[in-house]
């Protein structure tokens, strides 16, 4: 029995196709559009510029498992966002950052080499893999997934954000945050008195405040951040 279990496990781990890495898409971020009216809530960026990298991904809503932890290792994937990192001629492989493997002897440990997979054209069931190249695992439940784009700052670019922090009386508060690839984020708290006018400015940016309260800000962007000196 032990030899049979080892053979099945080995066949699942063996890859059967050449895989290729899926690079991110690097894109500029300029939100909102110039002269557009926008609404943000407290904690959201009213103005952001810079670059970001986006990845194709799946948002998983339910917990999945395969194996029993007795004869086979038990693999469990927790809900969350899984990034597509590899593909081959048939399947795309979405890696989980919240996957564990339970061994009958060694117990549970994080497992970073598996996740969800599905056909490149989106057809058929969403299955699982424990090594790229073998999209074969049928989960304990049907995966509840949705297509998403997973964004992250681009390490080679400068990112600027002006984040709304609410209103007290006639004063509206913001947090300016700037990130670069060569150091920790720089932040600065700023406040403006709406009694002196509805147009506020910071580092070249100009916003016309239309409505503001403790929950959200409605505004029009008049000018974006000034270009940083070389």
Give the 3-state DSSP-derived string for 101-131, with helices as H, strands as E and coil as C: EEECCCEEEECCCCEEEEECCCCCCCEEECC
Helix runs in 26-131, H state only? none
The strand pair at 171-180 and 74-77 is best described as unpaired
Q: Is there a domain that residue 15 lies in?
A: no
- What was the pLDDT predicted at 52? 75
Where in the sequence is the domain holding 99, given as residue range(s)? 62-143
Q: Is there a domain that residue 2 lies in?
A: no
Provide the pLDDT confidence category of residue 4 given band limits of 50, 70 and 90.
very low
How far apart (Å, rounded) are the C-alpha atoms in residues 166 and 212? 8
- What was the pLDDT predicted at 10? 38
Buried b (16+ CB within 10 A) or exposed e, 134-152: bbebebeeebebeebebee
Q: Is there a domain that residue 10 lies in?
A: no
CB 185 within 8 A of CB 207: no
Q: Is there a domain that residue 43 lies in?
A: yes
Using the predicted structure, report yes or no on whether residue 105 has a pLDDT greater than 50: yes
Using the predicted structure, report yes or no on whether residue 13 has a pLDDT greater than 90: no
The 10s digit of each residue's pLDDT in 109-136 is 999 999 999 999 988 899 999 999 999 9
The 10s digit of each residue's pLDDT in 23-61 is 888 878 889 999 999 999 999 999 999 877 889 999 999
**Last residue of one domain, picked from the residues 108, 143, 178:** 143
In this structure, the answer to whether residues 106 and 172 fall within a common structural domain is: no
The 10s digit of each residue's pLDDT in 152-204 is 766 566 789 999 999 999 999 999 998 876 667 889 999 999 999 999 999 99
What is the number of structural domains in the chain?
2
For residue 32, is the peptide bond before it cis, meaning its omega torsion is within 30 degrees of 0? yes
User: Has this prediction a pTM greater than 0.75?
Assistant: no
Q: Is there a domain that residue 3 lies in?
A: no
The 10s digit of each residue's pLDDT in 73-88 is 899 999 999 999 999 9
- What was the pLDDT predicted at 12? 41
CB 123 within 8 A of CB 7: no
Q: Is there a domain that residue 16 lies in?
A: no
In this structure, the answer to whether residues 182 and 203 fall within a common structural domain is: yes
In this structure, the answer to whether residues 104 and 125 fall within a common structural domain is: yes
Using the predicted structure, report yes or no on whether residue 16 has a pLDDT greater than 90: no
112, burial (CB in 10 Å: exposed 0-12, middle 13-18, buried 19+): exposed
CB 190 within 8 A of CB 172: no
In this structure, the answer to whether residues 128 and 166 fall within a common structural domain is: no
In this structure, the answer to whether residues 194 and 215 fall within a common structural domain is: yes
Q: Is there a domain that residue 72 lies in?
A: yes
**Last residue of one domain, picked from the residues 84, 111, 143:** 143
- What was the pLDDT predicted at 3? 34
Q: Is there a domain that residue 22 lies in?
A: no
- What was the pLDDT predicted at 162? 96
**Last residue of one domain, picked from the residues 143, 172, 187:** 143
In this structure, the answer to whether residues 40 and 98 fall within a common structural domain is: no
In this structure, the answer to whether residues 81 and 46 fall within a common structural domain is: no
Using the predicted structure, report yes or no on whether residue 229 has a pLDDT greater than 60: no
């Amino acid at each position: 029995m032990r030899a049979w279990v080892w053979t099945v496990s080995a066949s699942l781990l063996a890859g059967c196709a050449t895989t290729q890495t899926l690079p991110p898409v690097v894109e500029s971020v300029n939100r909102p559009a110039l002269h557009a009216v926008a609404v943000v809530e407290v904690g959201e960026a009213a103005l952001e510029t810079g670059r970001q990298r986006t990845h194709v991904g799946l948002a998983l809503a339910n917990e999945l498992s395969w194996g029993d932890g007795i004869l086979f290792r038990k693999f469990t994937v927790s809900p969350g966002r899984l990034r597509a990192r590899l593909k081959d001629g048939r399947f795309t492989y979405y890696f989980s950052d919240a996957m564990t493997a339970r061994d009958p002897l060694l117990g549970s440990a994080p497992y970073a080499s598996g996740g969800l997979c599905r056909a490149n054209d989106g057809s058929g069931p969403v299955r699982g893999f424990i090594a790229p190249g073998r999209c074969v695992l049928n989960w304990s439940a049907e995966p509840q997934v949705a297509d998403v784009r997973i964004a992250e700052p681009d390490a080679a670019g400068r990112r600027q954000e002006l984040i709304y922090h609410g209103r007290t009386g006639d004063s509206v508060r913001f947090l300016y945050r700037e990130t670069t690839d060569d150091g920790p984020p720089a932040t600065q708290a700023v406040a403006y008195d709406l009694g002196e006018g509805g147009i506020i400015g910071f580092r070249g940016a100009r916003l016309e405040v239309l409505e503001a309260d403790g929950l959200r800000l409605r505004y029009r962007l008049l000018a974006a951040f000034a270009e940083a000196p070389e």
